[in-house]
């Protein structure tokens, strides 16, 4: 296995791994372990270029830092991405190689399932490293995190409806769902049971047709979803769908979905606000799955009742952010970033002042990996003005 350290400003460690034998080409991005070990999923996607994969890994890792901070999991932010088509390129050999890659980092990064990987895949990864969560319940894990993610999104979405539309009744509320993966399937079930009317789309037409048959949804082409008249646009696919091109097209009152990094840039949160669209910040509303897998690592062990209690609090956090944004005359994205930074600062102060924090072991050195070395900054970008992370290939 060949490793290459990629210096990225503001990130603790970013490493690329290439393994000829298994075909693995992957990146692990650790945004910070200053507040706890980095926890985040393992994504497999056919990125067009290595640069695209690097950008996605870094954006996702940073998002996990903020998600963990707001959800108060006690973990830092990290993410793994594998370059490849999950249906065509994923093999046991590749997953085991990925497990060895995770293990090389010595526990600084803990992985789990994400887009393109499954709970069953994590069982294979577990053969090479113990630094993995979201294992099948038969193996002592917490199982599929998707139902918990979907529940948190549904509760946060319903809070937005109450706040913006002054009703708790979702009957007849039109929801345009982008992406028909695992989380979206569970979300659509909640929405349909509540009486919502669904329009769905996916880049894989068969997935959209399956949800249409299950929940009586209308199906549109992927590019048409932004133009669908609805009360709620629910982005449940990849990130960046809220951008200069799509926001002017939206015909909704609310944006609330499960995708990570929905706003391509921070100013797109302001653009939604300027259009009068209520936005539930993604790293707040979609934290249910993270809360579920994080519970596996609790000293007291996994407790589903405790997980559900925490997931239900997501609605309270969304309501607080809606009120805060309105009172401060800022976007909900900005309010959420300020909340995350406040919680991170509080965690830093507690860690520095506590005897346990002062005596904690130092993170594994970058020097334990082959490749170029450079001092990394653990500084996190300022709230609401964070630049898109970039790689330094010098």
Q: What is the pLDDT of residue 274?
A: 96
First to last CA, the chain: 22
Question: Which range is least confidently modeled, 51-55, 125-129, 296-300, 316-320?
Answer: 296-300
User: Structural domain of residue 174, as residue ranges?
Assistant: 146-330
Answer whether residue 365 shows pLDDT above 70.
Answer: no
| Residue 198 vs residues 22, 193, 212, 229, 311: alpha-carbon distances, Å | 41, 11, 8, 11, 24
- CATH number of the domain to which 203 belongs: 3.40.50.720
Residue 378 lies in a domain: no
180 and 193 in a single domain? The answer is yes
3-state secondary structure of 95: helix
Q: Tokens at residue 357, please?
A: 């924090």
343 catalytic? Reply is: no
Q: Is 87 exposed, middle or buried (0-12, 13-18, 19+ CB in 10 A)?
A: exposed
Q: Tokens at residue 169, please?
A: 């009744």
Residue 348 lies in a domain: yes
92 and 218 in a single domain? The answer is no
Question: Which range is least confidently modeled, 124-133, 212-221, 322-331, 357-366?
Answer: 357-366
Average pLDDT, the chain: 90
- CATH number of the domain to which 18 belongs: 3.40.50.10860
Residues 193-200: what's their mean pLDDT? 98
Residue 377 lies in a domain: no
> Are the beta carbons of 314 and 284 closer than 8 angstroms?
yes
pLDDT per residue as tens digits for the range 198-247 = 999 999 999 999 999 999 999 999 999 999 999 999 999 989 999 999 99
Which pLDDT band, with edges at 50, 70 and 90, does 187 fall under? very high
The DSSP element (H or E) to which 251 belongs, if any, is none
- In sequence order, which residues have a C-beta less than 8 Å from that of residue 39 and are 6 or more positions away? 64, 68, 73, 75, 76, 77, 78, 109, 110, 112, 133, 290, 293, 294, 297
Residues 96-103: what's their mean pLDDT? 98
118 and 54 in a single domain? The answer is yes
99 and 172 in a single domain? The answer is no
The β-bridge partners of 44 are 82
Q: What is the pLDDT of residue 291?
A: 97
| Residue 98 vs residues 14, 131, 194: alpha-carbon distances, Å | 15, 12, 41
The β-bridge partners of 234 are 177
182 and 299 in a single domain? The answer is yes
Which pLDDT band, with edges at 50, 70 and 90, does 361 fall under? very low
Catalytic residue among 79, 90, 207, 310: 79
pLDDT per residue as tens digits for the range 133-175 = 999 998 889 999 999 999 999 999 999 999 999 999 999 999 9
> Are the beta carbons of 108 and 363 closer than 8 angstroms?
yes
* Residue of 3, 83, 9 lying closest to 392 (CA atoms): 9
- Model confidence, pTM: 0.87
Please give the tally of structural domains in the chain.
Answer: 2
> Are the beta carbons of 227 and 203 closer than 8 angstroms?
no
Residue 379 lies in a domain: no
The DSSP element (H or E) to which 29 belongs, if any, is strand 24-32
Q: What is the pLDDT of residue 354?
A: 61
Which pLDDT band, with edges at 50, 70 and 90, does 345 fall under? confident
Residues 262-267: what's their mean pLDDT? 93
């Amino acid at each position: 296995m060949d490793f290459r350290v990629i210096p990225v400003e503001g990130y603790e460690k970013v490493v690329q791994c290439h393994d000829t034998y298994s075909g693995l080409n992957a990146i692990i991005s650790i945004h910070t372990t200053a507040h706890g070990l980095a926890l985040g999923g393992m994504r497999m996607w056919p990125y067009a270029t290595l640069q695209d994969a690097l950008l996605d890994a870094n954006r996702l890792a940073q998002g996990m830092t903020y998600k963990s901070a707001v959800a108060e999991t006690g973990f830092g932010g990290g993410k793994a991405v594998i370059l490849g088509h999950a249906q065509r390129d994923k093999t046991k050999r590749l997953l085991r190689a990925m497990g060895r890659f995770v293990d090389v980092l010595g526990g600084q990064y803990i992985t789990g399932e994400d887009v393109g990987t499954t709970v069953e895949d994590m069982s294979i990864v577990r053969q090479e490293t113990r630094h993995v969560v979201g294992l099948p319940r038969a193996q002592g894990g917490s199982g599929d995190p998707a139902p918990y993610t979907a529940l948190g999104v549904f509760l946060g979405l319903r809070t937005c409806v109450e706040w913006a539309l002054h009703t708790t009744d979702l009957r007849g509320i039109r929801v345009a769902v982008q992406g028909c993966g695992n989380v979206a399937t569970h979300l659509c079930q909640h929405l349909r049971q509540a009486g919502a009317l669904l329009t769905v789309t996916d880049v894989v037409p068969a997935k959209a047709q399956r949800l249409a048959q299950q929940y009586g949804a209308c199906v549109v082409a992927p590019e048409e979803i932004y133009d669908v008249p609805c009360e709620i646009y629910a982005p449940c696919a990849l990130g960046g769908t809220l951008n200069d091109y799509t926001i002017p097209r939206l015909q909704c009152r609310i944006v609330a979905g499960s995708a990570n990094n929905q706003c391509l840039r921070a100013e797109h949160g302001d653009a939604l606000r300027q259009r009068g669209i209520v936005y539930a910040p993604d790293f707040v509303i979609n934290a249910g799955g993270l809360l579920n897998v994080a519970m596996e690592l609790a000293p007291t062990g996994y407790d589903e009742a405790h997980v559900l209690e925490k997931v239900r609090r997501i609605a309270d956090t969304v309501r607080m952010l809606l009120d805060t944004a309105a009172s401060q005359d800022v976007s909900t994205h900005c309010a959420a970033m300020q909340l995350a930074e406040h919680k991170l600062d509080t965690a830093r102060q507690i860690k520095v002042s506590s005897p346990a924090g002062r005596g904690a072991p130092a993170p594994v050195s970058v020097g334990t990996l082959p490749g170029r070395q450079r001092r990394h900054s653990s500084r996190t970008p300022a709230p609401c003005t964070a630049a898109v992370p970039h790689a330094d290939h010098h």
